[in-house]
Amino acid sequence: MPETETSPLLPEVDPRTALDWQRAGEAVILDVREASEYEFENIPGSVLLPLSFLDPARAPAIFGRTVVVVCAMGKRGATAQKQLSAFGLTGIHNLRGGLAAWKAAGLEVQGGKYEALDYTI
């Protein structure tokens, strides 16, 4: 059984479990930060749908799949989770601790922050 919080209404998931779900094709990672934040740094394979434009009808791929909502620290993710659940979607999990927890777990991120770094000698 994956490690999630006990609340059936607003479940959370830890970063490693979210990655396992994503790799197995069981979940979509939905990033609800703004476009500039996403471009700077994001989880590979995640889908951007900013909270400011959140409309489940704009992302039909999330219907019928487990969704892991991610933001910077977890607060916007919880807000998005509530909105998606209110729309009638099920299987919505908030990434506990957001992108900060993902990075603290040593998991891969990508984006302009890393493309701009020059490691040549």
> Where along the chain do its domains lie?
12-107
Residue 79 to residues 33, 51, 69, 105, Cα–Cα distance (Å)? 11, 8, 10, 23
What pTM value is reported for the model? 0.84
- Amino acid 87: pLDDT: 82
- Amino acid 30: pLDDT: 94
- Amino acid 2: pLDDT: 47
- Amino acid 55: pLDDT: 81
- Amino acid 63: pLDDT: 65
- Amino acid 6: pLDDT: 42
The residues near 28 (Cβ < 8 Å, ≥ 6 apart) are 22, 47, 61, 62, 65, 66, 67, 68
DSSP result, 12-53:
EE-HHHHHHHHHTTSEEEEE-S-HHHHHHSB-TT-EE--GGG
- Amino acid 8: pLDDT: 60
Residue type, 105: A
Q: Which CATH superfamily is domain 12-107 in?
A: Rhodanese-like domain (3.40.250.10)
**Tens-binned pLDDT, residue by residue, of the chain (121 aa):** 344 444 567 899 999 999 999 999 999 999 999 999 999 999 999 999 999 988 877 665 666 789 999 999 999 999 999 988 888 888 999 999 999 999 999 999 999 876 665 556 5
